[in-house]
Structure 1
C-alpha cells in the first residue's frame, strides 16, 4: 500500500517549509569554517602539513555522529535528533572562537569536530523530508530542503567582514567574529526545528507502517546494520558509492583551494584582497552545491535518479579538468569550484533519492545513517590525505586523483539496471 498518501499533502508541505527555513539559518555554521579552516590551521599549528586538519575534524564529526543521530531519530523522532545535533554544533562554534582567542590548535580541532554535527543535521534533514513524501515527488521535496541551505551556506564564507566588525565591538580577534554569527544562525535553526517540526515526520511514518520503536532503534545502532541493508540491495549500494565518491572529491578539492589561491593570488594582491577572493570563490562553490538543487530534484523525478547521478559525475569530471589543467588561472579555478558544487549537487540529490527509492520504509533510516556516516568518513579521509598529496604533486595532482575516483564511481553506477533503462 502507498502509505505516503495516508497523510494530507498540506502536512508534507508544512514539513518541507519548516525544514527549509531551518536550513537557511543552520547553514551559516559550515560556511565560515570552510572559508577560514585551512588558513587558521596553518596559522595556529605553524605548518602547512596541517592545512586540511580542520576540514578533517569537521567531516569526522559528521561521520562519527551520523549513525547516533539516526538512532536518536528512530528512538525520539527527527525533531529531537536535529535539534540535538544543532545544539552540539553551537557549542562547537564557541570552541572555535576560543581557539582563535587563545591560539590553541587543539581547541580549533575540537570545535571543528562539533561543528561537524551541523553537517550531520543538514544531511539528515534531506532524508527527513522524504519520510512522508509521495514517491513521485521525493526528488523535488528532497532538493528543496537542500536548496534552502543556499542562503546560509553562501553567506557563511562572506561573514569575514561583518564578523570582523562584530569582533571589534567585542574586543576579540577579527577571525573569531564569523563564528559568532554562525552560532546565532544555528540557534535560530534549532528553535525552528524544535518548535515547528510537527507532526514529526519519522514518528508519523513509523505509525503508518506499524513499526516497533525499540526494534527500529536497535537496527540503526551500528554501522554494520546499515551496511548489511545496503549490501543486500545492489541499487542502494550503487547509490551509496556515488554519494560517497562525490562527497570525498568535493571535500578534498575544496579544502585545498583556499591554500592554493593564497599561494597564487597572493602574489598579485594584498592579504585582505586575497582573503576576500577566497571567500567569494568558496561562496560561489557553495552556491553551486545548493542553489540549483531544485533543478537536480526535477531532473531526478523526470530522467530517473540513476541517470541524474551520471550527469553529476560528468560535471565533476569537467570540474577536475579545469582545476587540474589551468591551476594558475584563477577564473578557471573559480569556474572549476562552481562545477564541483554543481556535480556534487546532482550526485547527492539523485543518489539520496535513489537510496530511499530502493529500500522499504523500515530499512531506510539505518541505511541513511550508514550512507551519511560513510560519505562523511570518506570526506574526512580525503581531507586528511589531500594535504600530503598536495605537498607531493601540487594542486593539479589533487585534481587528477579526484578524477580517477569519480571515474570509478561512474563505472559502478553504469552497471545498475536503472542507469541503462
Structure 2
C-alpha cells in the first residue's frame, strides 16, 4: 500500500502528479519482456535433463518423472505466497522474490545431484519451481493496466518473450557439459548451472527496473481498494471464482491445458531416450515443444482479442486432442514425436492466453491477485499430479497409454463452455 506522495513501486511522486496508465503499461510490458527472456532460459535449461538426472540418481524409470513433478509441485506451493506478496506489496516484490528463490533452488539441486542425494536434489527442484511460478505470474502483471481491447495482446507478448530463453535452454546440454567438467560437476548438471545464473539475473532485473509497479498504479488510477488488498483468504478467492461462470471456465481451461501438456512432456525425454534418441535430438524436441508454447503467443493473443476468449480456448483444446493422438501413435519415430510435441505446446498457448485474459476480465482489479494465485495453484497441482503419474503410466501402458490419459482432461472444458454460454445468455 502506498502512502500519500509515494509513487507505486517505490520512489516519490511530485505533488499533484498522476500516472499515465498507457506509459506505465508500455514500460511494464517492456521490462517484463526482457526479464522473461532471461528467466525463460532458466526454465527451459533443466527441462531436457531433469528426468535424466532423476533416472540416473535412482536407476528407475518410474522415478524419472519426479524431477518435473517436483518442479511443478514447487510452482504450486509458491503460487499463493507470491500472489499474496504481489497483492500486498505489488508485482515487483512478488516477481523478484520468486526469481531469487528459484536461483537458490538451482544451487541446492546441483549440490544434491553431485553428491548423489536424491531427496536433496528434489528439494532443490521444489525451490526451482518458484521460477516456473514466477514465469507464469508475469503474464498477470502484463494484464494489470491493459484495457479489454488489448489485454490478450499485452499478456501474450510477455508469454512470447519466454521463447528465446526457453528454446535455447534445452539445447545447452553440450555447452553445459563443457562448463560443468572443469568445475568438477557431472556433465548433466551444466544446464542447471545455467538455470541458476539466469534466475538470479531475472530477479535482479525485476527488482531494479519494474518501476512504477503496474499493479499498484492500476489500483491508484482505477480506484481499487488497496487497503484490503492481499487480505482475502484463498478459500474466499476460490469461492469467488466458482460463483463467476467466466472465471470458473478460465480456471478449468488453465488447469486442463497445463495438465495435458505436463503429462505428455514430462516423459517425452525418457521415452525418446529408451528409443535410442541422442541427447541433442531430445533437446531439439523439447526446444520445438517450447517454441510451440511461446513463439506464436502474440498471434494467439490477437485472436483472443479479435475472435473472443471462448473460441480461442475451444480451439486450444482441439489442438491438444490432435497433439496427443499424433504423439501417442508415434512409437519411437522421432519426427512424429516432434510434431506431436509442437502441437502440444501450441494447444497450451491457446488455452493459457485465452483463459488468463478471461480471468482478468471476469473480476474487479482488487480481487484479481487472489483469484490468479488460486488459479495458478490449481494449474500447478494438476501438472504435478499428471507428472507424478506419468512415469507409472509410461511403464504400465506405454507412451500411447500416457497420451490417452492426458486427453481426458479436455472434456470438462467443453462441458463448462456450454454451461458458461448458457449463463451468459440467461444474464
Fold match by TM threshold 0.5:
yes
* Root-mean-square deviation over aligned CA pairs: 1.7
| Equivalent of 2:92 in 64, 79, 82 | 79
Gap regions ≥5 residues in structure 1: none
Match of 1:376 in 2: 380
Aligned equivalents of 2:397, 2:423: Cα separation in 1? 35
How far 1:23 sits from its partner (Å)?
A: 0.5
Alignment of 1:17-416 (within 5 A): 17-219=30-232, 221-222=233-234, 224-264=235-275, 266=276, 274-416=278-420
SS of residue paired to 2:143: coil
How many residues get paired?
A: 408
Tell me the secondary structure at the aligned position of residue 172 of structure 2: helix
> Alpha-carbon deviation of 1:418?
8.7
Shift in CA distance, 338/330, structure 1 to aligned 2, threshold 3 Å: same
What does the per-residue CA deviation read over 1:2-58, in whole Å, with 9 as the maximum and x for residues that have no partner?
xxx973422211110000000000112221221111111111112222111111110
Distance (Å, rounded) in 2 between the aligned partners of 1:408 and 1:116: 27
Q: Please give the alpha-carbon distance, in whole angstroms, between the structure 2 residues aligned to 1:376 and 1:250.
A: 11
TM-score, with structure 1 as normaliser: 0.94
Larger helix share, 1 or 2:
1
Does structure 2 conserve the Cα–Cα contact (< 8 Å) formed by 1:307 and 1:419? Answer: no
> Does the CA contact (< 8 Å) of 1:31 and 1:153 recur in 2?
yes
TM-score (norm 2): 0.92
Decide whether aligned partners of structure 1 residues 84 and 368 sit closer, same or farther in structure 2, where only a CA change above 3 A counts.
same
For residues 161-193 of structure 1, the C-alpha deviation after alignment (integer angstroms, 9 at most, x for no partner) is 111111123222211211111122222211211
Contact 2:70 2:126 survives alignment (8 Å): yes
Q: Where in structure 2 are there 5+ consecutive unaligned residues? A: 1-17
How far apart are 1:214 and its partner, in Å? 4.7
Partner of 2:11: none
For the residues of structure 1 that align with 2:36 and 2:189, how far apart are their CA atoms?
23
Give per-residue Cα distances to partners, 1:60-92, cap 9 Å, x unaligned.
Answer: 111011111111011111101111110000001
Shift of 1:399: 0.7
Return the alpha-carbon distance in structure 1 between the equivalents of residues 350 and 406 of structure 2: 17
